[in-house]
Amino acid sequence: MSRTRIKICGLTREADVDAAVEAGADAIGLVFYDKSPRAVTVARAAELVRHLPPFVTPVGLFVNADASLIQDALQALPTLTLQFHGDESPQDCDRWNRPYLRAARMAPGFDLVDFAHRFSSAQAVLLDAFVEGYGGGGKVFDWSLLPPSVPSPVVLSGGLSAANVIDGVLKVRPWAVDVSSGVEVAKGLKDADKIRHFCNAVREADQLKIQAELESAKLATRR
């Protein structure tokens, strides 16, 4: 079983980037959406990314962005993975020929399987709560809305924290988890202790997954 990857999103300060790296995050999220309190400019994002060691991925979050903004971000941040949170079509996402995540706004009646098929070129589908506007608003969606299987890796997002991420990992079995408000002291200002506790909780969940699989395998051999 693969371990659950961790993305800390909405970073605006070098100290928070350092805290995410030290805690073992696999990726950091940079918000290029000027209506967000966590928004950064391309120039500021470049300063933050300079604090990343190799193999920690910067991810740029865009919402119905002008092509010029995405182009500027890709030029300044050559290793950037794209994340689309607006009304972008598959063609809008594919045109950049870059790895990308596509956010799905989960609500009753939403067909996630069809959505994943339409965005089959995405590295993963990011599951977030449906709220007015864009983004999940730090809210947890009803995980029972998820179908038994999805034809894409999924990133679980929406109101996660150290208090509920173990339950989320065990119930959803995502490829990765994405947290923002759950590790903050204020919007855009992360807390190093909360980041560390969140990452430790994800690792604890992975250990519980392994134990459950081993118990299941033992039971199977006795039958």
**Active-site amino acid positions:** 9, 128
Whether 137 and 38 have beta carbons less than 8 Å apart is answered as no
Strands 184-186 and 189-190: antiparallel
CA dihedral 121→123→129→130, nearest 10 degrees, is -20
Whether 5 and 202 have beta carbons less than 8 Å apart is answered as no
Whether 112 and 130 have beta carbons less than 8 Å apart is answered as no
Strand partners, 128: 105
Amino acid at 34: D
Burial class (CB in 10 A: 0-12, 13-18, 19+), 108: exposed
Look at residue 25 and give its three-state secondary structure: coil
